[in-house]
Amino acid sequence: SDLREQEERGELLQPLSFVLLVLCSVLLYFKVSLMDPGFVKPEEEAKAGEAEGQSLVIPQGMGDVKLRRCGYCLVKQPMRARHCQLCQHCVRRYDHHCPWIENCVGERNHPLFIAYLSVQLVVLLWGGHIAWSGLYFQQSWEWLQHNIFLLLSFFLIVIFTIVVLLLLVSHLYLISCNTTTWEFMSHHRISYLRHSELENPFDQGIILNLWRFFC
């Protein structure tokens, strides 16, 4: 049969790989959007004084830092946590609330969010290549009528690729500096950063920052 001949020639490998990448992207999307991003729970208050994970580590040069109580959910906030009014919870190592996944990006799902963006970027680049390879430009109205949907698909893929690429690059930069989007955008409003002797007291060098985040 034709399918068997295509399989023997290895022509089915690329479409199968593409479908698997798309499936992986969809699964990562649901995983990141549905999982707990690192909500601070009331029963954890007894442990608030202990160094429990990255959120509670107080760097040198910051002096005495007192944990404050959230004015919304009334739990003691670990350092780098912030209350999200959309999620109605305080989130550990809060980065941002992402409307794309309808969830916060925080301590627990941030690495998976980076993995999702990476896989999504590969899917978009591959899809853009497929769409571009199907275009054979001709200066005629008839050609445009037959290829209008392919052209629109290609331009949409280009736009989404630029957005995802910028998101991924900006997040990798912030991770390499061991800072979050919230801390980067609101540095002057955060007390433990505003009164710190260092501009970024959490920065431990690119290699160690990346290692601690991903490993």
Instruction: Verify whether residue 98 is a known catalytic residue.
Output: yes
Q: Is 205 left (phi over 0), alpha (psi -120 to 50) or beta?
A: left
Which 8-state DSSP code applies to residue 39? Answer: B
Q: Which residue has the tokens 């390499």?
A: 176
Catalytic residue selected from 84, 87, 98, 104 = 98
Spatial distance between the Cα atoms of 177 and 42, rounded to a whole number of angstroms:
30
Structure tokens at 19: 């479908």
Spatial distance between the Cα atoms of 168 and 181, rounded to a whole number of angstroms:
12
How big is the CA angle at 22 (ends 2 and 171), to the nearest 5 degrees? 150
Spatial distance between the Cα atoms of 50 and 58, rounded to a whole number of angstroms:
11
In one-letter notation, the amino acid at residue 10 is G
Q: By three-state DSSP, how is residue 132 classified? A: helix
Kindly compute the dihedral angle of the four CA atoms of residues 82, 86, 89, 90, in this order, to the nearest 10 degrees. Answer: 0
Bridge-partner residues for 104, per DSSP?
A: 97
Query: Which amino acids are annotated catalytic?
Result: 98
